[in-house]
Amino acid sequence: MQRLVTAELDLELGASIDLIFQITAAQHVPVVSEELTFTQGERVYTPTEIVDQSGSRLHRLQGEAGLLHVRYEATVEGQTSLSRTSDLEAITYLRPSRYSQSDEVFPQARRQFKGLHGYELIAAVSDFVASSTTYTPGLSHGTDSAVTTLMTGQGVCRDYAHVVIALLRAMDMPARYAACFAPGLRPMDFHAVAEAYFDGSWYVIDATRLSNRRSLVRIATGRDAADCAFLSYHGGYVGLQRMHVDAAVIPDSTADEGFETSLFDDPAADDSFELVQIA
């Protein structure tokens, strides 16, 4: 299965600014081809690539005042096996974090999911968050946390992921956040999902039910959204003038017409209770 992913950002920089992007496929994703460019008029920037412990690729540059055009395109082929999770990683993803305060939701989690473990716990948490939260673009704030979302019952993909992560950690199951490209996602954007560590592997939970998990392309992995922002900056003003994200499954010419789309590009074709991994 091939996927084509793209991201375009036009940023108005108010001064000389330290910019850090996380918009490319992660290190272990099987990329066939990719191109990442940063241009400002006739100037072309060459960023410094930094790879974190989870394989997320950060691209850092010092931008100058003016309009910066960021373009990324990649073709991804199939999946790849993930590296083994260390004991330290597992411990890290058990701890409370800024947006997934498992210590604060501990009493609710212990009451609601008492006696559940393993697959049954993953399925129950996924179903609860999916049924108790309403997807509401534009009403969620960047500082909203799992506690906020549980109180309001509304949010976007990052909020769903934060609640899933907090509840699982409160039940002693390591859980983490993943930013992804998501073919078939509507509305199209960068997407966020949760992952649960069970029986030695990480399994994807998308409580929004808006993606087909088999087609996801990993961008970044972390404790929560604070570790996976597509852009962070220091030293001045940055205005997002335009952003366009797209991701699609490339039809297989050897398959029946429509087969690839129906199986991998349609969120409705994803059995949300099946254990699925992404690269």
Question: How many C-alpha atoms does 27 have within 13 Å on its Cβ side?
Answer: 14
CATH 3.10.620.30 domain residues, the chain? 87-227
- Spatial separation of the C-alpha atoms in residues 209 and 126, rounded to whole Å: 10
8 A C-beta contact, residue 86 and residue 13: no
What is the per-residue pLDDT for 81?
Answer: 67
Q: For 2-79+229-261, CATH number?
A: 2.60.40.2250
What is the per-residue pLDDT for 23?
Answer: 98
Tens-place pLDDT, residues 86-108: 899 999 999 999 999 999 999 99
Tens-place pLDDT, residues 239-266: 999 999 999 999 876 554 544 455 788 9
CB-neighbour burial class of residue 196 (10 A; exposed 0-12, middle 13-18, buried 19+) = buried
The strand pair at 134-135 and 154-155 is best described as: parallel
Is the peptide bond prior to 187 cis by the omega test (within 30 degrees of 0)?
yes
Among 79-83, 93-97, 146-150, 230-234, the minimum mean pLDDT is found in 79-83
What is the per-residue pLDDT for 139?
Answer: 80
Q: How far is CA 96 from the centre of its chain?
A: 19
Question: How many C-alpha atoms does 108 have within 13 Å on its Cβ side?
Answer: 18
8 A C-beta contact, residue 3 and residue 30: no
* Contacts with 126 (C-beta within 8 Å, 6 or more apart), sequence order: 164, 205, 207, 272, 273
Q: Strand pairing partners for 75?
A: 4, 33
What is the per-residue pLDDT for 141?
Answer: 87
Q: For residue 78, what pLDDT band results from cuts at 50, 70 and 90? A: confident
Closest CA to 276 of 261, 263, 260: 263
Answer yes or no: is pLDDT of 205 > 80.
yes
**Ordered alpha helix ranges (H), the chain:** 87-92, 106-112, 118-132, 146-152, 157-170, 259-264
Tens-place pLDDT, residues 135-180: 999 888 889 999 999 999 999 999 999 999 999 999 999 999 999 9
- Spatial separation of the C-alpha atoms in residues 30 and 200, rounded to whole Å: 22
Q: For residue 62, what pLDDT band results from cuts at 50, 70 and 90? A: very high
Dig out the tokens for 165 from the structure: 């992560």
Per DSSP, 257 falls in state T
Please state, rounded to an integer, the average pLDDT across all residues of the chain.
94
**Ordered alpha helix ranges (H), 27-117:** 87-92, 106-112
Q: DSSP strand E in the chain: where?
A: 2-13, 17-21, 31-40, 43-45, 48-51, 57-63, 66-77, 134-135, 154-155, 175-181, 191-198, 201-205, 217-222, 231-234, 238-250
CB-neighbour burial class of residue 141 (10 A; exposed 0-12, middle 13-18, buried 19+) = exposed
Place of tokens 């997320």: 56
Among 41-55, 203-217, 264-278, the minimum mean pLDDT is found in 264-278
What is the per-residue pLDDT for 254?
Answer: 56
Range 87-227: architecture per CATH:
Roll (3.10)
Per DSSP, 115 falls in state T
CATH 2.60.40.2250 domain residues, the chain? 2-79+229-261
Put the strands of the sheet holding 217-222 in their side by side order.
201-205, 191-198, 175-181, 217-222
